[in-house]
Amino acid sequence: MVKRIGVLTSGGDAPGMNAAIRAVTRVALNSGIEVFGIYDGYKGMVEGYIEPLTKASVGEIIDRGGTILGSARLPEFKDVEVRSKAVTQLKKRGIEAVVVIGGDGSYRGALALTEMGINCIGLPGTIDNDIVCTDYTIGFDTALTTIVEAIDKLRDTSNSHHRCSIVEVMGNRCGDLALWSGIACGAEIVITSDTGFEESEVLERLRDLDLIKKKRHAIVVISEKITDVHQFAKKVSLNTGFSGRATILGHVQRGGAPTPSDRILASRMGEKAVDLLMQGIGGQCISIRENQIVSVPIQEALVMPRTSRKPLQNLFERLV
């Protein structure tokens, strides 16, 4: 059976990564497996920035955002020579398998390492919910909570000033943070890569909300990477009865204490990852589907089609 495993966080950080590190470490230690923290993602793996983890060293982190192991991007990890250096560093320490907490890119690295003889299991750590094989990623619920709190506050002030608040949220081309927060906040309009963006149509809908529906304010939630929201806000002021104001929530969405749901999701997924490594399995990633923790081959996960968001989009439209 596997005797020593490593754990790392890679790519963009997400609240709940620490809870996952803690779960992997404690479940493994309680099963008689030694655990090593690999700092700064694949960069630390290549450079040998690797230290043993104890039950105590992952104490008091379940409630902390970010990642105690640090994260980094290392594009060169795509080169087999660079990965060979990483494998040497692991073998030197007797580390036979690794849990990789990150997004799609990190999964590709995990698969490549598995093919070089180091069993890796991927855990979905990203606020964007853009990993299609899982219903939810670790960090999504926390980011959603942060967004909802922010929009609730914006609504108070928009209401007093006959404003249209245009709120740009993260998601990296996945509209889930926008759609979920739009529903939770009672937004008037949600714009994502799924809905598309026809500027004139949105302005027309805002005029309708003002003149016909007599709304005192309007909230538009829009995913990042769709349009320049400051320019769009100016057009709202020029072309509708609302005064348009843009707010880009930015990196605050990545921080904060993870919600209980994210802590529990991370703990369940961390447990599953260790169980698979104990069975000598690698090249898989952990998902939650219909509230069951399951594993999917990374190769399949990377090409899986995304589940349609139409039902939730329809719900949103029926709530406006």
Residues within the interface to ligand ADP (CB under 6 A): 10-12, 42, 73-75, 77-78, 102-106, 108-109, 112, 126
Say which amino acid occupies 260.
P
Say which amino acid occupies 148.
V
Instruction: For ligand ADP, give the closer residue by CB, 102 or 270.
Output: 102
Q: Give the DSSP H/E element, type plus range, for residue 90.
A: helix 80-92
Catalytic residue status for 194: no
In whole angstroms, the minimum distance from the beta carbon of 150 to ligand ADP comes to 23
Among the residues of 240-284, which ranges form H helices?
260-278
Instruction: For ligand ADP, give the closer residue by CB, 109 or 182.
Output: 109
**237 alpha-carbon distance from chain centroid:** 33
Give the 3-state secondary structure of residue 240: coil
Cβ neighbours of 224 (radius 10 Å): 19
Instruction: For ligand ADP, give the closer residue by CB, 8 or 190.
Output: 8
Distance CA 121, CA 217 (A): 47
Residue 264 DSSP symbol: H
Residue nearest to ligand ADP (CB): 105
In whole angstroms, the minimum distance from the beta carbon of 157 to ligand ADP comes to 34
In whole angstroms, the minimum distance from the beta carbon of 113 to ligand ADP comes to 8
Distance CA 37, CA 8 (A): 6
Q: Which of 13, 40, 104, 128 is catalytic?
A: 128
In whole angstroms, the minimum distance from the beta carbon of 12 to ligand ADP comes to 5
Instruction: For ligand ADP, give the closer residue by CB, 89 or 126.
Output: 126
Structure tokens at 132: 């299609």
Active site residues: 128
